[in-house]
Structures are given as structure tokens and as C-alpha cells.
Structure 1
């Protein structure tokens, strides 16, 4: 039995990732800030777990409640309140980094003892092509029109920290997923992909074998070269 924790699992990409991994035979623990928002994921057969990635006590309590852990999907994230330069200040930057970057570190560090006890530990970090400089700077990419600084910087950091975790944990499979331009609340459902398409990379990486890649960046089309 594969035990899997997904953060931010009560809606959108997290909820769809939970659905697909349950269908693949995983026992899924669905992390969410407010347990009252967990009806949809409970209906799928997941166990709702109170988990706020910005709160160390919440993270510690969530991880201590799990009997085992084989796969960690760090999906929780926020878009933030700044979408350009004129509305940007240090607090707007800090708020996004606290959730999207520090939150991943906080959960991953708390999860390490359980993951180290697994025969096949896997970590999947959900980033974005918005964190990829080439996609941001070349016309024709979905990411090119994005002007937000905090969100882009946070996702670039997620890609880098994934590489570093993979180097430090050679017995783990640690990879990072780009959902692509998916219709979610983040973009007022303007994305051209469905949430199923948007979770293809994360689900693939959550179900890789022990001989699979590590330290790599994947979209649903395959590996994205650094």
C-alpha cells in the first residue's frame, strides 16, 4: 500500500491529483487549511488532514498523525496580491515565498522521518513554467505575458530547491512538475488545459519506480531540459 500526502488537496489541481492517485491504488491523505472544505476529497475516499503549510505546529501535527508516508506531493500554493511592479512591496513578496517556497521546506523537513522509513520515497513539488526564465522571456510561450514577480520568483525557487533536495537525498526520487496553463481559480479558469491534463506530470512523477528520474523538471509533454 502506497501512502501519499498531498498539500492543498481540497480543490483544483490538488483535488484532481488526489482522485487520480486514489484510482491508482494509493491511500491518500489530503492536506488542507480548513477541514470544512474537504467534502469533495472525502467523497473520493481520501482522509482529510488539517495542514497549513505556513504554520509549523499544524505541519507537525499533520505529519505525526500519519501511520506511514511513501509519496509527498507539495501542491499548496498561492498566486499573491502583486501582479506587476507598481503594486509590489516587500510584504507581498514575503507572503508568496512563505507559502510557495518556505511551506515546501517546512512540510518536507517534517516528512523526512516517515519518508526515510519508506522502501521507495518520492517527493513531487508542483512548480510552474512561470518559474522558467526561457518560458517567461520568449514570445509564444503561455508564460510570456505574465508580469507577476513574486509568483514567478517563488516557482523558480521551487525548481532550484527540488534539484538540491534530489542531490541531498540520493535514495529518494525528488522531481518537480509544471502543470501548464490549466483552467483554475488562479487564472479565472482561462487556461486551455483541463485539471486532468494539468495533473499529468504530477501523477506520473508520484507513481515512478525506484529507477526513475530524480532532480528533473517535467510537464505533461515530458522532461523539460535545464
Structure 2
């Protein structure tokens, strides 16, 4: 069994009503880690005419070009994709707020297509894993969501590498590496059957484990 765990601190900005991770830093305040606050607000545009689209991706206010909004994102508090379309539709999910410095409480899973298209026994295994880990949010990345994430967070070279890979498992490797390197969290292969909780693999102070 191979479990890859990466650590990062993330900060969220908002475009419309969709949450978008824009930087793996700036989550700290004077009194330590301040967590991630989820709230709705109106997106305020800026004059970014002198900057390229790629530079706007990580602007100080998250002023991103069109086409980078996460679709179908389910807010914090629900982690299981019971095949109802709220998860497994290419949505990337939200990483819930946390009050410690360890691994973010999110589980990254990758596949070429939607969660609802998986075989029933595989879906049941994923739901079982999530039920064992309450408070851990699922981030489901199909090929479409992976490409959208790389467009939003990486350069054209990385995008070309992803698009040029014909083998699905290798595309998944590229995708999960890109996501975990920036956002952190837990990763499991779909066929892994857990006998213990994810947190058994890492203490609250662990920053990297595999």
C-alpha cells in the first residue's frame, strides 16, 4: 500500500461564488495559523491590462482570467460523493479550514471520468474510506478538472506535458503531483482499502510522509 501525503498551506480567493486556491502561502497571522475562512462576497475586478493572463493567475486579489472558476464545488461539511452528482462530476472540492499545521484535511482522488461512472464496488470503497474519515473533504479530479487546474495554476509547459500524455495513469500521476505540490492533502489509489484512518499515517505536526 502506498499513501502519498504532501503538505502545503493554502489561501483561497473568490471569483463569483466559486472558491479558488491561489497561493500556497500567506495563511499565517501574527498569532500563528489563522485557518481558511469560507464566506461569500462580490468579486471586485482590477485594472490588469498591463499584465498577461498568466501573471493574473496569482494576482494579489486572485484576479484571474475567465475560464478558471471551479464548477460544482461543494462547500465544507460534506465529504461523501454518494453518487448524487454533487461530487464526482469533475469538481475539485474545497479544502476545509483547519487549526493546525499538519496535513490539510482533504483527500485527492483521480480518474479519467466522473465518480458516478466508476464500478459500484469502487464507489463503495471510496465511500467507505470517506465514512472512516469524517471531516476530510474529497477532491475529485477527472481529466477535465485536472486540465483546468493546471491551466489555472501552472505554466504552458506543464499543460503541454499533461495534454501530450496518452496513458491515463500517467496523466493521473502528473495531475496529483501538481495538486499536492501546491495544496497538500492525502492521496490514495482508487483500489486501496483502508483499515485505519488517514490520520494514523501522520501526526498533526507531520509535514510530509509517503
Length-normalised TM-score, structure 2: 0.31
Could you say which structure has the higher helix fraction? 1
Larger relative contact order (Cα-Cα within 8 Å, sequence gap ≥ 6): 2
